[in-house]
A and B are shown apart, each in its own frame.
Chain A
Amino acid sequence: MGSYLSDRWEQILSASWQHFSLVAQCLILATVIAIAIAAFCYQNKTLSGIANSVSAVGLTIPSFALIGLMIAPLGFGVAPAVTVVTFYCLLPILRNALVGLSGVDRSLVEAARGIGMSRVATFFRVELPLAWPVILAGMRVSAQMTMGVAAVSAYVLGPGLGSFIFSGLSRLGGANSFESVVTGVVAVVVIALILDGLLVLLGRLTTSRGIRV
């Protein structure tokens, strides 16, 4: 195991970085999209209901199947990987954004409007900051979940640690196959923990002391 690691150290590091970067970038993209969708839906009961059901149903789709289906329109490589990871990232964040935004005290919104804040300013300076801790909780769930999904993207030759796992599994029993799988799994867990820690730190930095519990 030791020699396996020391021989492939650089390869492991670069794959880990790719994996991390894939998830982190998709997470940011998904957060922006989720907030945009939630902003559009949260004041309307029907639309919120639809958005909630879609995110519930979406989560039940097996990621392996979805990524396979993406090969036809998007081919192999980064494009299908990003699409699928972003899709799975989106769902928990959307759900939390809806809960967070609709949980903002309406009287506060009215107070903000009453002192002359525009509709847009009220959203960005009152509603979003107040819903932010809930949205961030959704981001943490998404980050953990899509670490696994990102590994599956190796199936479409996407970037990341999935290649270690897949190549190991395909020749199980062969030389270094077990080491390869373990390396992939452990590295995924480690970077998942690192990303989670970073998100907690982000939460500390971006949540006002006035609303911290």
Chain B
Amino acid sequence: MSNSSKITGATILLENVTKSYGSKKPAVNQLTLEIPAGQTVMFVGPSGCGKTTTLKMINRLIEPTSGRIVINGEDVTKMNGDDLRRRIGYVIQAGGLLPHLTVGANVGLVPKMLKWDKERIRQRTDELLDLVSLDPEIYRDRYPKQLSGGQQQRVGVARALAADPPVLLMDEPFGAVDPITRQRLQEELIHVQAELHKTIVFVTHDFDEAVKLGDWIVIFNEGGKIEQYGTPEQILAHPANEFVEDFIGSGAGLKQLGLARVRDVRMRQLPTVDLGEDAAAAANRLTEAHAIRGVVLDQHDRPVGWISRRHLEKMSTVVLPDEKGVPTVGESSTLDDALDTMLVAGSSEAAVTGARGRYRGVITVNTVIRAIEGLSHEAVEEVSVPVGHNTGAIPVATTAENGVITYEMAEDDQQKEDEWLTSANREWSETDRQKWENYSSLDPAEDVVGEDPNLKGSGSERA
């Protein structure tokens, strides 16, 4: 967010957009929505709420019945739809790869339509396959059916990015892959976005995915009605109304674990023991550290098991005491994933690994529980939420120095805005804002109850 100079994305504004089919109730009704440049905005909501329709109206796969679509200040409602779509990346479930074309040809489709020369297309294709962690030498000439679901999905993302579009539309892209692959793809998307700063609009029915990937979340109800537009933190901490609460489901606190990463919490440091080293020396190190157990690392510094002092005393050189292995989580995983890994392994701790699987530390269930306490007390930053409502009022564009366009409700629209506040956001403004104010006035010393004493506790463990 702070690197606005690096933003390559474009601001999108849907202006009072309606889509109706025949005489039935409109699928999307009078929707005005700003999507800020360079940010990931998640559309979530129950099926049939109009979130996919809204997405497809941005690239005009579905033509809006009325209203305007403005991308970076340019009205695109009347331009040639094919030209528009070549400027917008589009990813669908299972990648939507053309089965009769090779992976390379699939990725090169849009550049080819834009009449790039062959050499440039080839270079760009290889570059993109690299970006999504597929070796071009191996995968360029394969056909989609020779790839796994996760790999196909990655090629789908690479294809969407081929002509370097400022906007990427993703329609439930990770819906059809298994949970483990989905987790990996989500993490890769986070990395890709950290590098590219595109404007991403992402439709999902999975609220957890929205929390994990989104800078902003729009919660839709039937007819494309926006129930709440805010950051994941805001929505989890202050759901606007009952619908949003129901949609988040139980365990909002637990879901906030999806917001915190393993690298953000304090890890424990256990003494490390190398495979094959002298057992007595290792046992001494454990004694010095007052630790009962240590982590066994292989020659690449990857954690492979736990070992206790008692075990070490029975050995001459360090070998693995059992083949159980050790649950590991990446340091950029969410606490949610970390907890899941530990529960699945039936262990109260897991080793944390960094780049190339190198050992970084140990995370325990206690650390996670402390983090939950911390999170529910953590203050939610005041941020100005982008425009999003269904009242028909149209915001005014302002262009910042770096060329990023933002929208605001005009001053003379104050009355309409008030109306809007009293209708859509009533509950948030009356009850929650009250709570929120009470809460922010809390004494900060009381506020950190969950943190300090416990950290001291773990400090003594580490000592």
Contacts and interface: CB of A to CB of B under 8 A. Distances in A.
Interface of A: 107-108, 110-118, 121, 126, 129-130, 208-211
B78 interface: no
A116 B83 contact: yes
Nearest to B145: A210
Given A107-B93, A116-B84, A210-B101, 9 more contacts: A107-B94, A111-B92, A111-B97, A114-B61, A115-B110, A117-B109, A210-B102, A211-B99, A211-B100
A113 B143 contact: no
A210 B143 contact: yes
* A-B pairs, 3 with minimum CB distance: A111-B96, A210-B143, A116-B86
Contacts of A208: 99-101, 143
A115 B90 contact: yes
A190 B170 CA distance: 56
B159 interface: yes
Given A130-B99, A210-B100, A115 B160 contact: yes
A133 B260 CA distance: 52
B98 interface: yes
Contacts of A117: 82, 109, 113
B122 interface: no
B61 A113 contact: yes
Given A110-B61, A208-B101, A210-B102, A116 B96 contact: no
B85 interface: yes
Contacts of B230: none
B159 A210 contact: no
Contact of A111 (B84, B90, B100): B90
A113 B87 CA distance: 12
Interface string B53-85: 000000101000000000000000000001111
A95 to B, nearest CB: 22
A153 to B, nearest CB: 37
Nearest to B144: A210
Nearest to A109: B96
A41 B152 CA distance: 32
A115 B159 contact: yes
20 contacts: A107-B96, A108-B99, A110-B96, A111-B90, A112-B98, A113-B85, A114-B96, A114-B169, A115-B85, A115-B109, A115-B159, A115-B160, A117-B82, A117-B113, A130-B99, A208-B100, A208-B101, A210-B99, A210-B143, A210-B144
A115 B85 CA distance: 5
Contacts of B94: 107
Contacts of A130: 99-100
A116 B113 contact: yes
Given A110-B92, A111-B90, A210-B143, A116 B110 contact: yes
A150 to B, nearest CB: 33
B100 A114 contact: no
A121 B59 CA distance: 18
Contact of A114 (B59, B98, B101, B144): B59
Contacts of B102: 210
A117 B160 CA distance: 13
Interface string B137-178: 000000111000000000000011000000001000000000
B144 A115 contact: no
Contacts of B82: 116-118
Interface string B91-124: 0111011111110000001100100000000000
B38 to A, nearest CB: 22
Interface string B326-352: 000000000000000000000000000
Contacts of B144: 210
Contacts of B87: 116
Given A107-B93, A108-B98, A130-B99, A114 B85 contact: yes
A112 B102 CA distance: 15
A89 B178 CA distance: 47
B102 to A, nearest CB: 7
A19 to B, nearest CB: 34
Nearest to A118: B82
Given A115-B90, A116-B83, A108 B96 contact: yes
Nearest to B84: A116
Which interface residue of A114, A118, A121, A208 has the most chain B CB atoms within 10 A? A114
Contacts of B96: 107-108, 110-112, 114
B160 to A, nearest CB: 7
B331 to A, nearest CB: 35
A110 B97 CA distance: 11
Contacts of B90: 111, 114-115
B177 to A, nearest CB: 15
Contacts of A129: 100
Contacts of B113: 116-117, 121
A129 B101 CA distance: 10
A116 B60 CA distance: 10
A100 to B, nearest CB: 13
B143 A209 contact: yes
A156 B379 CA distance: 94
Nearest to B83: A116
Contacts of B145: 210-211
